[in-house]
Amino acid sequence: MMTKQTIIEKINDFLIEDFEVEEEELEPSANLKDTIGPDSLDFVDLVVAVESNFGVKLVGEDFANVVTLQDFYNLIEKKLD
């Protein structure tokens, strides 16, 4: 079972590495869309990154209530639960 902290670290790692987000931008209160990019295509790549890092496949509805990075961390945690 992955700890909450490990999940956050893994997500932050691929956001920095694959999405080229600056580390200082990774505040839990940050807007996810602003962080990864405003393009809807970026969400496709987010789905790919989540699948390759966590083995979980997200679909559009999963993002319905995701606004901040913290929401996104929570979503992955819930999916892994």
Partner 1 sequence: MHWQESEEVKDSLYKGNSGIGIDPLRTEFGFRSPLTGIVEDLDLKKMLSRRQRVSMGEESRYAYVATIEAMQKAQITEDFFEKNEVGIIYGNDSTALSVVESVDIIKEKKDTTLVGSGAIFKAMNSTVTMNLSTIFKLRGINLTLSAACASGSHSIGLAYHLIKSGLQDCIIAGGAQETNHISMASFDGLGVFGIRPDDPTKASRPFDQDRNGLIPSGGGATVILESYESAIKRGAPILGEVIGYGFSSNGDHISTPNVDGPSRAMKRALEDANIGAEVVDYINAHATSTPVGDANEAKALFEVFGKSNPLISSTKSMTGHECWMAGASEVIYSMLMMEHSFVAPNINPENPDEDSAKLNLANKTIDKKIDVFLSNSFGFGGTNSALIVKKC
Using CB under 8 A, list all residues that contact partner 1.
18-20, 37, 39, 41-42, 44-45, 47-48, 51-52, 57
CA 75/CA 14 separation, integer angstroms: 16
Give the torsion sign (CA, 60, 65, 71, 75).
negative
| Shortest Å distance, C-beta 43 to partner 1 | 8
The number of residues making up the chain comes to 81
| Shortest Å distance, C-beta 8 to partner 1 | 21
Q: Of 9 and 39, which CB lies nearer to partner 1 in the complex structure?
A: 39
